[in-house]
């Protein structure tokens, strides 16, 4: 194995992981796909590949399409709301060239309404800026067919996908304020942070307590968290620790909740108010979060 072989793949690893993650919604599955792509890259003879990134993206996309067939079946039998496995990053960390590939949770959820081919075509063309000729080759469809796939996907998604990035200190401030308000028995502070038509999504996967359906509106969300806080106070079960982070590019935090449950909370903030809250509690999606919290707690 030559250094050129390794360097050519490693230069694109971050790009490929994010591509696979956006296709699958699972970071662990994405990393498995990229590892499989590495084996195929090595077997193909990398020195003969003229455009490594395009070749690797094609391989990863096709592997993802195969995996999405079984993933879609698992989603149909999933208990409660489904959220992507959190992509966790340090607030204020230096950006990479692939940071532009981050998609907000709202768009990730919208992508779930698409067929695998629609999702692949939309991501490759509209998000990753790949020309239709390359999309057509990757999906083994005509350019005209790929244009139709993307057009249908846009109508289904109806989401601009714009990121609303905040300065690091402001991101930490929102994360801390929400954590404190969400663990208070008085819903006033939380309602002030939320937009009037805010929405709360939770994902427990049937393994830990979570709402089965979204909760709409600042008042209902405030009452929900206040009621939960009262029960925890009465039981003497407080959140033990929290760590502000970025989750899929959104401000948020990781926390150790009652009974040792790990939780990842992401906040979509627009016009100085939180318009959506995404809470992942399914332990199968939080292995990395647990390691981060363990290190942070010392």
Do residues 152 and 187 share a domain? Answer: no
Burial 11-40 (b: 16+ CB within 10 A, else e): ebbebbbbbbbbbbbbbebbeebbebbbee
Residues 15 and 132 in one domain: yes
Domain boundary among 112, 128, 157: 157
Domain count, the chain: 2
pLDDT higher than 90, residue 279: yes
Which pLDDT value is given to residue 37?
95
**Shared-domain flag, residues 69 and 21:** yes
Helix axes 218-235, 168-182, angle to 10 degrees: 60
Give the pLDDT score at 241.
80
How many residues appear in the chain?
Answer: 298
pLDDT 10s digits, 190-247: 999 999 999 999 999 999 989 999 999 999 999 999 998 888 777 666 666 889 999 9
Cα dihedral 224, 229, 231, 235, rounded to 10, equals 160
Whole-number Å distance between alpha carbons of 255 and 155: 37
Q: Coil, helix or strand for 226?
A: helix
Whether the predicted pLDDT of 131 surpasses 90: yes
pLDDT of residue 3 exceeding 60: no
Average per-residue pLDDT in the chain? 87
pLDDT score at 72: 64
Is the pLDDT score of 97 beyond 60?
Answer: no
Q: Which of 39-53, 182-196, 236-250, 260-274 has the lowest mean pLDDT?
A: 236-250
Greatest CA separation for the chain? 67
pTM metric for this prediction: 0.84
Q: Which residues contact 175 (CB under 8 A, 6 or more apart)?
A: 91, 244, 245, 251, 252, 253, 265, 267
User: What's residue 226's pLDDT?
Assistant: 94
Give yes or no: residues 77 and 186 share one domain. Answer: no
The answer as to whether 73 is a domain residue is: yes
pLDDT score, position 70: 72
CATH number at residue 291: 3.10.450.50
Range 89-98, long-range pairs (CB < 8 A, 24+ positions):
89/245, 89/246, 89/247, 89/249, 90/245, 90/246, 91/168, 91/171, 91/172, 91/175, 91/244, 91/245, 91/246, 91/251, 92/168, 93/246, 96/14, 98/14, 98/15, 98/18
pLDDT at residue 285 tops 80: yes
pLDDT range class, residue 189, cuts 50, 70, 90: very high
End of a domain among 157, 178, 195?
A: 157
* Average pLDDT value for residue range 165-191: 93
Q: What is the mean pLDDT of residues 79-89?
A: 89
Q: Are residues 77 and 144 in the same domain?
A: yes
Average pLDDT over residues 239-262: 87
Q: Domain range holding 152?
A: 3-84+103-157
User: Is residue 280 situated within a structural domain?
Assistant: yes
pLDDT on residue 239? 65
| Of the ranges 1-10, 71-80, 245-254, 287-296, the best mean pLDDT one | 245-254
Does residue 129 belong to any structural domain of this protein? yes
Q: Is residue 94 part of a domain?
A: no
Q: What is the pLDDT of residue 209?
A: 87
The pLDDT > 70 percentage for the chain reads 89
CATH of the domain at 146: 1.20.140.160
Q: Do 213 and 267 share a domain, yes or no? A: yes
114 part of a folded domain? yes
> Is residue 93 a part of any domain in this protein?
no
187 and 143 both lie in a single domain:
no
């Amino acid at each position: 194995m030559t250094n050129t072989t390794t360097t050519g793949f490693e230069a694109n690893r971050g790009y490929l992981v994010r591509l696979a993650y956006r296709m699958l919604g699972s970071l662990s599955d994405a990393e498995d796909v990229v590892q499989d792509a590495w084996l195929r890259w090595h077997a193909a003879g990398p020195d003969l590949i003229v455009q490594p990134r395009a070749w690797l993206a094609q391989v990863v996309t096709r592997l993802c399409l195969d995996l999405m067939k079984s993933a879609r079946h698992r989603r149909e039998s999933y208990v409660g709301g489904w959220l992507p496995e959190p992509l966790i990053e340090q607030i204020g960390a230096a950006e990479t060239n692939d940071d532009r590939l981050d998609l907000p949770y709202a768009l990730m959820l919208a992508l779930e309404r698409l067929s695998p081919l629609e999702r692949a075509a939309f991501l490759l063309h509209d998000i990753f800026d790949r020309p239709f000729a390359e999309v057509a080759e990757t999906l083994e469809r005509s350019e005209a067919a790929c244009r139709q796939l993307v057009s249908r996907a846009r109508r289904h998604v109806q989401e601009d996908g714009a990121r609303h990035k905040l300065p690091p200190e402001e991101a930490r401030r929102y994360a801390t304020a929400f954590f404190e308000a969400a663990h208070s028995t008085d819903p006033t502070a939380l309602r002030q942070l939320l937009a009037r038509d805010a929405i709360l999504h939770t994902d427990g996967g049937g393994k830990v307590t979570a709402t089965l359906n979204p909760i709409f509106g600042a008042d209902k969300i405030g009452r929900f968290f206040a009621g939960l806080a009262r029960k925890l106070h009465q039981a003497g079960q407080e959140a033990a620790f929290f760590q502000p982070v970025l989750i899929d590019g959104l401000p948020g935090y990781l926390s150790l909740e009652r009974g040792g449950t790990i939780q990842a909370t992401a906040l979509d903030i627009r016009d100085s108010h939180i318009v959506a809250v995404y809470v992942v509690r399914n332990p199968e999606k939080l292995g990395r979060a647990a390691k981060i919290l363990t290190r942070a707690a010392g």
